[in-house]
Chain A
């Protein structure tokens, strides 16, 4: 979304009374001016109940600002580098540097500067999340060639930047703005404002500054990715009606003019590999579908889908059943179908679900759909748990079938569960924060935390964070629970507590209470509880523990009974 400067200023005017604030460091060598304004405004639109204070460094001192930011109390940093930061002779505000005779010196200088910036960036990223933007403006008049021809020296500058980019992309906590994405939103030709650059040291047009600030906020505060995709089959996953032509006659290849379905299968396989849940809702006979899904030339194996629902009833019914098995809400799910009527039926039943049309006769639109799916499901990191999600949901169904919705204690004990409580403070373990920020149902208060706040929490001597991994005879679930807070002698204040819905009904939450009493020596537990529209399972848990006042804020929890008769084997990992 692009804001005008006046819209941005008006947004900030409305926000200035907000008490809840956070600090973002804007690291750049030019005057931050409107970029800082837009950054605050786009942050305000992303988090309406929270204001961002933007800290800035000195003009022309990218290195010093990087160092200051790394020592600051900011919880996030936006680093925007332009060519003038590499060598002032590459800035319009500096004269006398473009001669052929200066080329080699400029190249050598830039090479060294990238290396130094990388070191500073490592320090910064060790303390807070960083959104990084590499030069967005063209190299000014460098080289001896006409504008249409790239000179060797310019290519060399690009090479150093590319090497830096590859190194920076590997750093934990660093997110880099994709230049192609920026190019679609802000064409290069309209990015520079030479008048403002010469008059005030701010090189960007208002439009470019707005787009850039929006993208920085997107990188620093990414939206939670969708969790599951439900797909139709006929004329969506393949071309043809399988019930009419048979399982062997549906196609998805270039030679059969149905490549777009093959590409869709490829996209589904990719989504499955990054942990997205896949299911099928198709109007068909189940045996025919099963036969087609057994075909070995599918680009996405049939086993990647669970559940598979094939029937002649309304698709919304099948989807309701899929959501029950997945135990996730419709707002986290995308449904893809080639039939506008089916999409409308599902949309009516689940207004919060993202329903997308598969344009079977329009390849360009289909590729747009694939790009949209990438945006909806893209995530900054892939964790080992992502590979376990589908199988653990299958296991949960097996457990439900064997033990019912609320399995008895004998059954839970027979699972032979093993819990690992990992209390080691490790800022590079992103799984804990991911779980806190995406779990809705068993969630103490729904409070979302950014990377910087999390790193500050881990730096705090009184702060603790424990991740809980689980496995049983049905297989591993990975890290499925997190509890974090502060401890002052025997009083433990829990500020975050989540448990994945895949791990319900195994009494893991009771083990987590036990952990506080036994391992942390808690004599009193204070829960920063807050009811949300979606944390019903947590409220139910509180009631089961004898806490009736589910609507209160903080709860003094002497009422929480020490759980006994716990079913699982436990081991604990602590910092040395």
Chain B
């Protein structure tokens, strides 16, 4: 796991406390009932806080899985 993945997993674990650690990489809005609109905002806010970044509003609706969020944060990290 990269440092980014470790920190993202911690955010996921905080927002979805019932998720087991090995389930986090597969988590998505489709597969996880607890990932509703409130959880979505909470998750993205927690991630923005963790990585000290602002989420680009146009991507908010597309960040619907752990995998996509990893890609988004890694891309942002590479840019900066």
Chain A: residues with CB nearer than 8 A to chain B? 4-6, 9-10, 12-13, 16, 33-34, 37, 195-196, 199-200, 202, 206
Does B32 lie at the interface of the complex (its beta carbon under 8 Å from any beta carbon of A)?
no
Contact mask B46-74 → A, CB, 8 Å, 1/0? 10011000100100100000000000000
Contact of B41 among A4, A10, A16, A33 (CB under 8 A): A33
Does B13 lie at the interface of the complex (its beta carbon under 8 Å from any beta carbon of A)?
yes
Supplied contacts A5-B42, A6-B14, A200-B41, 13 more A-B pairs, CB within 8 Å: A6-B49, A9-B15, A9-B42, A9-B46, A10-B14, A13-B13, A33-B38, A33-B41, A33-B42, A34-B42, A196-B41, A206-B45, A206-B49
14 contacts between A and B (CB under 8 A): A4-B49, A5-B42, A5-B46, A6-B10, A6-B50, A12-B17, A13-B17, A34-B42, A34-B45, A37-B42, A195-B54, A196-B41, A196-B45, A206-B49
Contact of A5 among B13, B45, B57, B60 (CB under 8 A): B45
CA distance A258 to B14 in the complex (A): 55
Do A195 and B57 form a contact, CB below 8 Å, given A6-B10, A13-B13, A37-B42? yes
On chain B, the residues within 8 Å of A206 by CB distance are: 45, 49
CA distance A199 to B45 in the complex (A): 12
On chain B, the residues within 8 Å of A10 by CB distance are: 14
Question: 10 nearest interchain CB pairs?
Answer: A9-B14, A13-B17, A200-B41, A5-B49, A5-B46, A10-B14, A6-B46, A5-B45, A13-B14, A6-B14
Closest to B40 in A: A200
CA distance A530 to B2 in the complex (A): 51
Chain B: residues with CB nearer than 8 A to chain A? 10-11, 13-15, 17, 38, 41-42, 45-46, 49-50, 54, 57, 60
Cβ of A240 to closest chain B Cβ, rounded Å = 55
On chain B, the residues within 8 Å of A202 by CB distance are: 41
On chain B, the residues within 8 Å of A5 by CB distance are: 42, 45-46, 49
CA distance A416 to B54 in the complex (A): 74
Which of A9, A34, A196 neighbours the largest number of chain B CB atoms within 10 Å of its CB?
A: A9
Cβ of A204 to closest chain B Cβ, rounded Å = 11
Which of A4, A6, A199 neighbours the largest number of chain B CB atoms within 10 Å of its CB?
A: A6
Cβ of B71 to closest chain A Cβ, rounded Å = 21
Cβ of B34 to closest chain A Cβ, rounded Å = 13
Closest to A207 in B: B49
Do A6 and B11 form a contact, CB below 8 Å, given A34-B42, A206-B45, A206-B49? yes
Cβ of A512 to closest chain B Cβ, rounded Å = 47
On chain B, the residues within 8 Å of A34 by CB distance are: 42, 45
CA distance A200 to B38 in the complex (A): 9
CA distance A196 to B41 in the complex (A): 9
CA distance A16 to B14 in the complex (A): 11
Closest to A15 in B: B17
On chain A, the residues within 8 Å of B45 by CB distance are: 5, 34, 196, 206
On chain B, the residues within 8 Å of A199 by CB distance are: 41, 57, 60
On chain B, the residues within 8 Å of A9 by CB distance are: 14-15, 42, 46
Closest to B49 in A: A5
On chain B, the residues within 8 Å of A195 by CB distance are: 54, 57
CA distance A195 to B56 in the complex (A): 10
Cβ of A174 to closest chain B Cβ, rounded Å = 29
Closest to B41 in A: A200
CA distance A16 to B18 in the complex (A): 10
CA distance A37 to B45 in the complex (A): 12
CA distance A206 to B45 in the complex (A): 9
CA distance A535 to B7 in the complex (A): 47
CA distance A107 to B33 in the complex (A): 45
On chain A, the residues within 8 Å of B54 by CB distance are: 195
CA distance A5 to B45 in the complex (A): 8
On chain A, the residues within 8 Å of B41 by CB distance are: 33, 196, 199-200, 202
CA distance A206 to B48 in the complex (A): 11
Cβ of A201 to closest chain B Cβ, rounded Å = 10
Closest to B38 in A: A33
Cβ of B11 to closest chain A Cβ, rounded Å = 6
Closest to B54 in A: A195
On chain A, the residues within 8 Å of B60 by CB distance are: 199
CA distance A6 to B60 in the complex (A): 19
CA distance A388 to B49 in the complex (A): 53
CA distance A423 to B13 in the complex (A): 51
Cβ of B33 to closest chain A Cβ, rounded Å = 17
Closest to B10 in A: A6
Closest to B7 in A: A6
CA distance A497 to B42 in the complex (A): 44
